């Protein structure tokens, strides 16, 4: 099973700042089969990024994904108030697993 | 508009059974693989099970294998999760999710239904 480790656990930032979230896999994720989701309290997750770097429909371009192999990054270029949430990575290269999440909170 | 509406979540005793349903609309249900993903209170996401478009192939996490068969009725645009031999650790919000075409990530999610396993 591919284990995904997300860091940091919590990121405290102010609106307008840049957020960099990490997702590290215990073994290589082939074909960059990695997705990112955003989840706000009491809501279902929402797909942000698939294929490591492709934005889902309707996702603002301040969200970007990068990486390959075992190291992946989600970057939010300038945080908007609605971006404060929990973010999860998910690999779909070998079965399906999620990372433990990174909470982006207002500083 | 794609809509996924889960139902069936209740309070059930350990060892009991329950069936969750997910009614789909706004897309050609029979063209998409479908999945269940759960989230224990205050915890992260855990993939539970996936079913192919025809229902001929199913995949499950080890934690539920043999206890939670997944099925679908394409004539009713509905996904099911039969939950047997329930344990306290199965307590979670269960989300129905649509798999992206040809891939196993999830492009649409329902709002979830809460299953509580407790005596």
What is the tens place of the pLDDT at every residue in B9-30? 999 999 999 999 999 999 999 9
| Helix%, strand%, coil% for chain B, nearest 5 | 5, 50, 45
SS3 B92: strand
Per the CB < 8 Å rule, is B44 touching A88? yes
Distance CA(B34)–CA(A22), nearest Å, equals 28
**pLDDT computed for residue A99 by the predictor:** 98
Q: Which of A50, A98, A99 sits opposite B47 (nearest CB)?
A: A98
Q: Which residues of B touch A (CB under 8 A)?
A: 35, 37, 44-47, 50, 59, 95, 100, 103-112
pLDDT at B80 over 90: yes
Shortest Cα distance from B107 to chain A (angstroms)?
6
Per the CB < 8 Å rule, is A44 touching B112? yes
Q: How many CB pairs under 8 A join A and B?
A: 53
Confidence of residue A74 (pLDDT cuts 50, 70, 90): very high
**pLDDT computed for residue A37 by the predictor:** 98
Mean pLDDT, chain B, as a whole number? Answer: 97
Per the CB < 8 Å rule, is B104 touching A44? no
Distance CA(B74)–CA(A34), nearest Å, equals 29
What is the tens place of the pLDDT at every residue in A20-31? 999 999 999 988
Mean pLDDT, chain A, as a whole number? Answer: 97
């Amino acid at each position: 099973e591919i284990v995904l480790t997300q860091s940091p656990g919590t990121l405290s930032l102010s609106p307008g700042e840049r957020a960099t979230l990490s997702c590290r896999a215990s073994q290589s994720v082939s074909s960059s089969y990695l997705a990112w989701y955003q989840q706000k309290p009491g809501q279902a997750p929402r797909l942000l990024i698939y294929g490591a770097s492709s934005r889902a429909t309707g996702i603002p371009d301040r969200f970007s994904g990068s990486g390959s192999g075992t190291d992946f990054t989600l970057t939010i270029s300038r945080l908007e108030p609605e971006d404060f949430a929990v973010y999860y990575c998910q690999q779909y290269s070998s079965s399906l697993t999620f990372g433990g999440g990174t909470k982006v909170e207002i500083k | 508009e794609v809509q996924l509406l889960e139902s069936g979540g209740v309070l059930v005793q350990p060892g009991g059974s329950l069936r969750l349903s997910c009614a789909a609309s706004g897309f050609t249900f029979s063209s998409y693989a479908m999945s269940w993903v759960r989230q224990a209170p205050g915890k992260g996401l855990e993939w539970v099970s996936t079913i192919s478009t025809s229902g001929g192939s199913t995949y499950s996490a080890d934690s539920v294998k043999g206890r939670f068969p997944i099925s679908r009725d394409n004539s009713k645009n509905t996904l099911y999760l039969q939950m047997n031999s329930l344990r306290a650790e199965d307590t979670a919000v269960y989300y129905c999710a649509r798999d992206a075409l040809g891939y196993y990530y999830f492009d649409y999610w329902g709002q979830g239904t809460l299953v509580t396993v407790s005596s």
